[in-house]
Amino acid sequence: MLFRPDRRDFSLIGFYTGKVLFGVGLAMLAPALMALALGERNELWAFLLGAALAITAGRTTELLLFTREPLSTSHGLAAVALSWTLAPVFAGLPLLLSGHYASYLDAYFESMSGFATIGLTLANDLDHMARSVNLWRHLMQFIGGQGIVVVVLTIFASAGGRIGYLYTGEGREEKILPNVIRTSRFIWRVAIVYAVIGTALLWLALVGAGLPAPTALYHGANLFMAAFDTGGFATQSSSVGFYRSVVVEIVLLPIMTAGAFSFALHYQLWLGRRSELVRNIETRTIAASTLVMFTIMAAGLGRTETFTTFYTMMRQGFFQLISAHTTTGLATVPGRIYVTDWGVLAPAVLVTAMALGGMAGSTAGGIKAMRIGLILKGVIRDVRKVLLPEDAIVVETFHSSTRKTLSDTQVRAAATILLLWLVLYFTGGLIGLFYGYELQLSLFESVAAASSGGLSVGLVRPELEWPLKVVYIAQMMIGRLEFIAVFALFGYLLAIIRGRV
């Protein structure tokens, strides 16, 4: 039985949503500053308007719904889902006013794609977009990759215990440090330190590729945000292919991989525990799946004779596979080529890689290596049970920071989420089929949207039917928040309509 939410419920959900909107408004001031510095006047006003609206809406909501009550799980989850629904409403405004988007829906799509680190774009004439607007697209990925709520937790939060549910609602389960605030601050420390190192390396590579030093810095910073936050937006319509530089691609590979590694693993690596890389169930799963998938991809590309040399196959194939597996979405070839020139096996591998995704508790999306690893361990345990004498006790363990014993509950939970992911992927694929697109194309794009993979075969474009844009927006959000938070918000909406007083 559902109970109609009362003022207390609205206060708890609205108060924290207001905080997030306020944070998004403040973030818009960064591209506004850039617009001011570069003399992009129209963009400056657009950012100031967007920031003013978000800050006003956020602060007003906070003041009107002020509460000191502790958050419950359902309130926290609903607040996260509502924040993720409303943040693109304000973040999309400067995009719309830039003139590169055909409608508000397109601008909202782009913002959701940014925050959820998807990388699918509906921008018209991306190559001539104002630098401040392009920076905002990438900044949204940086903020969304770490987690919009984590940003707010880091800056505004004063008490960790009661806001822990917000952290969980954003698709993160593992607290690296005992306190949620300290955990979110560590996440930001990792992101900022890697940003300095990664941008410097990319700047050097881009200068080497022939870009002027200031332009290289701008491209380097944006590329870093797109790669580390597994976002996939690019400053140019031809993505990484624009630079025609193998050095840039080589530098991007570990940055994308770092983005797909969990912050818990980064914590271990920061402490100098490099053996964790070899022992961790997720790194093992990702390494094994990369090897298996690359073998299939290489066989597929070999059969179709897409590439004439070993070097080009390795360069294009490996970059695309890592980009897909880390759910980044940066590409060195136009997306349409995957289905026209790469045969059947290679695009199927890319879809699978995007669907599997990176590690749990990272900026990557997809089913996650942890779940795949746990399910495989569960299968191994069941096979061993069958082969051993009936009274034998079979214990399966796995390593994730510490050695843990595999439980039935963990396997069951992983299998349930896996099932939900498959439903999400196929739903988008079926709706694409309904609109007359081929199965291969519609499934590719559906998985790219839901898993945050972001590689595109060209279906996502401004002319795409609006209901499909809505479906992809929903997939992006559900995938990024990993179902539960969206279900909680949906439950509250249902309770408003059908709940008992």
Enumerate binding residues for another protein (CB under 8 A): 189-190, 193-194, 196-198, 253-254, 257-258, 261, 266, 269-272, 274, 277, 283, 287, 290-291, 294-295, 298-299, 301-303, 305, 309-310, 313-314, 317-318, 321-322
State in angstroms the smallest separation of the CB of 267 from another protein.
Answer: 9
CA distance 238 to 337: 12
Closest contact distance (angstroms) between CB of 312 and another protein is 10
Closer CB to another protein, 101 or 267, in the complex? 267
Q: Which helix (H) or strand (E) holds 416?
A: helix 408-434
Closest CA to 119 of 271, 231, 35: 231
Minimum distance, C-beta of residue 314 to another protein, in the bound complex (Å): 5
Find the helix or strand (DSSP H, E) in which 180 lies. helix 180-208
107 or 321: whose CB is closer to another protein?
Answer: 321
Q: What's the min distance (Å) between Cβ of 487 and another protein? A: 34
- Which candidate, 458, 211, 169, 469, places its Cα nearest to that of 336? 458
Q: Which is nearer to another protein, 232 or 317 (CB)?
A: 317
Phi/psi region, residue 175 (left: phi>0; alpha: psi -120 to 50; beta: rest), is beta
Q: Which residue, 242 or 318, is less far from another protein as judged by CB?
A: 318
The answer to whether residues 342 and 304 touch, using CB atoms and an 8 Å cutoff, is yes
Between 233 and 261, name the residue whose CB sits nearer to another protein: 261
Q: State the nearest-atom distance from the C-beta of 226 to another protein, in Å.
A: 17
Q: Give the nearer residue to another protein in terms of CB position, either 121 or 316.
A: 316
> Closest approach of Cβ 392 to another protein, in Å?
35
Q: Pick the closer one to another protein by CB: 30 or 299.
A: 299
Query: What ranges make up the beta strands (E) of 129-263?
Result: none
* 325 closest CA partner among 430, 414, 455: 455
Closest distance to another protein from the beta carbon of 305 (Å): 7
Cβ of 329: how many Cβ atoms within 10 Å?
31
Task: Work out how close the CB of 146 gets to another protein at its nearest, in angstroms, rounded to a whole number.
Answer: 15
Amino acid identity of residue 337, one-letter, is I
Find residue 397's DSSP bridge partners: 405
Q: Which is nearer to another protein, 163 or 322 (CB)?
A: 322
Radius of gyration over alpha carbons of the chain, in Å? 22
One DSSP character per residue, 246-296 reads: HHHHHHHHHHHHHHHS-HHHHHHHHTT-TTHHHH-HHHHHHHHHHHHHHHH
Return the structure tokens found at 84.
């993720």
Rounded Cα–Cα distance for residues 484 and 13 (Å) = 15
Which of 145, 1, 157, 165 lies closest to 81 in space, CA to CA?
A: 165
Let me know: does 378 contact 354? Beta carbons within 8 Å: no
